[in-house]
């Protein structure tokens, strides 16, 4: 189930995301299981992850919600060829 965020939470996460570099890139391999696994691992480790659309730039508006659904994350923002996803880190 995807994470839902309030407007205040989104605002705070957007501010945090400004200084992040993209950790994951969606390239020619597309939204493969390997891509989803690497984004899932990054979300587990960081919670807030910036992703870059290296390819599939025309489809980014439809792909981002699908990525969020498959990873159980929320889209914090999507600007240009970059999207930011958030999912709370699992408790250890």
What's the pLDDT score for residue 2?
Answer: 59
Position 92 confidence tier, pLDDT thresholds 50, 70, 90: low
The neighbouring-strand residues paired with 86 are 48, 74
Contact 63, 31 (CB under 8 A): yes
15-50, pLDDT tens digit by residue?
Answer: 999 999 999 999 888 889 999 999 999 999 999 999
Q: Is the pLDDT of residue 71 over 90?
A: yes
pTM for this model (two decimals): 0.90
List the one residue out of 73, 76, 69, 77 whose CA is nearest residue 88.
73
Distance (Å, whole) CA 52 – CA 44:
18
CATH code 3.30.110.60 for 7-86: yes
How do the domains of the chain map onto residue ranges?
A: 7-86
**Mean pLDDT over the full length of the chain:** 91
């Amino acid at each position: 189930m995807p994470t839902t965020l309030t407007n205040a939470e989104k605002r705070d996460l957007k501010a945090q995301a400004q200084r992040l570099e993209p950790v994951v890139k969606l390239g020619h391999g597309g939204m493969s299981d390997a891509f989803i696994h690497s984004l899932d691992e990054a979300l587990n480790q960081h919670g807030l992850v910036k992703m870059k659309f290296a390819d599939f730039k025309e489809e980014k508006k439809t792909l981002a919600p699908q990525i969020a659904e498959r990873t159980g994350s929320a889209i914090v923002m999507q600007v240009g060829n970059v999207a930011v996803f958030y999912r709370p880190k699992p408790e250890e």
